Amino acid sequence: MNAPALPPRRTPVWLEIRRHLHELIAGPSFAPGDYIPSERSLAETLGANRMTVRKAVDSLVQIGALERNSTSGTRLPLPRVTRPAALHTALGIARLVRAGGGEPGNRLLDFDLRPVTARIAKRLQLAEDSEIVVFRRLWTVNDAPFCVETTHLPAVRVPGLAAADLTAGQSLYALLRDRYGIVTSGTERTIGIGYASDAEAGLLGLAPGTAILLLRLLAADGAGVPVEYTASVNHPQLVVFRAGADAG
């Protein structure tokens, strides 16, 4: 005899409220620094008790999607990192974070030497049988994760480059200049909207599928030959791109 089917499990109310709030603050009606309605107002609007609403809000505060002001309420965080929307020379993230008064940090997530894909070969003007160095770093500002960057370099331009060269937060551009004599003098930047993968969302403290700011950067040397292609996934509440921003 078949066992009776279990009744479907209902999503806890606080999770439903959290999802609603996350979608609300990710939409066009809210900008960094804006305050959300009070817990009492949200409870009345959503037909829930204040403790349930508070639990949902607390969970968003814990991942940095909201922040509390002891006197004014709860708001979307102000951006902590300002990145230039256009730049003729590449600047390291650490320098940009310090220019904004923050303390940078980073963690090397992976490092690999692999055959180039057709897409990256086209961007870096490489033969399709070339090898590239690929590494990924998680960047933080005052210990808050704000950016995941995946960088591709032609292996022939950086012989001997190893993971150990990047584990202590070294500047890639200083390394290229000092060890390999490569100074970037031109960059191409494309900024758009993407959606965080499960892995990226976990690293940045976001819900999977959250809209993120996606920067694609192509840097060239003095002769105009591409030397770096980087895809940068940026936290939508902690990073802002600004035309004419002072990079310091």
Average pLDDT (129-158) is 95
Mapped onto helix, strand or coil, the DSSP state of residue 212 is: strand
Question: β-pairing, 239-242 with 81-84?
Answer: parallel
CATH class, range 81-242: alpha beta
Local confidence band at 130 (pLDDT 50, 70, 90 cut-offs): very high
pLDDT digits (tens, 9 = 90+) for 15-29: 999 999 988 887 778
Structure confidence at residue 53 (pLDDT)? 94
Local confidence band at 5 (pLDDT 50, 70, 90 cut-offs): low
Taking a C-beta distance cutoff of 8 angstroms, is the pair 104, 81 a contact? no
From residue 93, give the alpha-carbon distance in Å to each of 10, 110, 126, 158, 234.
44, 18, 26, 20, 12
Domain boundaries, the chain: 13-75, 81-242
Average pLDDT (109-120) is 96
CATH class, range 13-75: mainly alpha
- Residue in the structure block whose two tokens are 């220019």: 99
pLDDT digits (tens, 9 = 90+) for 223-243: 999 999 999 999 987 888 887
Local confidence band at 246 (pLDDT 50, 70, 90 cut-offs): very low
Local confidence band at 9 (pLDDT 50, 70, 90 cut-offs): low
* Mean pLDDT (the chain, rounded): 87
Structure confidence at residue 25 (pLDDT)? 86
Local confidence band at 192 (pLDDT 50, 70, 90 cut-offs): very high
From residue 97, give the alpha-carbon distance in Å to each of 11, 70, 79, 80, 198.
39, 26, 11, 8, 26
Q: Is the pLDDT of residue 244 over 70?
A: no
197 exposure class (CB count in 10 Å sphere: 0-12, 13-18, 19+): middle
Mapped onto helix, strand or coil, the DSSP state of residue 105 is: strand
Higher pLDDT, 67 or 2: 67
Structure confidence at residue 30 (pLDDT)? 84
Instruction: Provide the token pair at 10.
Output: 């209902």
Q: How many CB atoms lie within 10 A of CB 237?
A: 28
- Whether 13-75 shares its CATH topology with 81-242 is answered no
